[in-house]
Structures are given as C-alpha cells and as structure tokens.
Amino acid sequence: MTVLVIGRGRAIVDSVTKAMSEHGIEGTGVTVDADAIAHLGGGDVDLLVIGGGVESGSRSLLKKQAATHGVRVLETPLKGRDPGTYVLEEIVPLLNA
C-alpha cells in the first residue's frame, strides 16, 4: 500500500514520510497540490494524508480527486505528536482496516 502525504511544511512532510518508512510503510510526500493530484491520478495511492496546514480550498480539491480515484483520506492533524506516534496511531490503523 502506498501513502501520499501532502502538507505545506517540507520538514513536517519529510518527518512523517520518514516515520512511515521506519514502520515499513511505503509512501511519498509533497507540498504542492499539483504534485498530489498527479500522484493520485497515477493509480498507486491507497491513502492520502492531508496535513493540518493545507488550506480549505486545496483540501476540498484534494478530497474530490481522492474520491474520484477511490483513495481513502486522513485529515487528522499531528496535534503536537511526534511523527512516529502519529503514524502508529493514525496511519497504521487505516491501512490495517
């Protein structure tokens, strides 16, 4: 399963994708909507993680694109958690559902 993470802060996106990798989860991270849309259209994304800093208009567009391609969406923000905890508490359960 492949996870796509989109956020506005490169450092946060990179820390989440690194934590995913450490837990054996394949994924990539982007900071630009067009890049996320291209990945969604590629057909190899199972879960889209939308970071808390992604604006409302972008969020709506990304969710619509995800739905078009049958991709599940996670919008739960980090809320101060470290990326490893976030991956274990939010991403792993969705992938195992």
Task: Determine phi and psi for 94, rounding to 5 degrees.
Answer: -65, -40
Q: What is the pLDDT of residue 70?
A: 96
Q: What is the pLDDT of residue 51?
A: 94
Helical packing angle, 33-41 and 56-68, nearest 10°: 10
pLDDT along the chain (97 residues), means of 10: 93 96 96 97 94 95 97 93 95 91
Q: What is the pLDDT of residue 12?
A: 94
Q: What is the pLDDT of residue 1?
A: 63
Q: What is the pLDDT of residue 79?
A: 87
CATH number for the domain including 44? 3.40.50.2300
Total number of domains in the chain:
1
**How far apart, in whole angstroms, are the C-alpha atoms of residue 10 and residue 40?**
19
Host domain of residue 80: 2-96
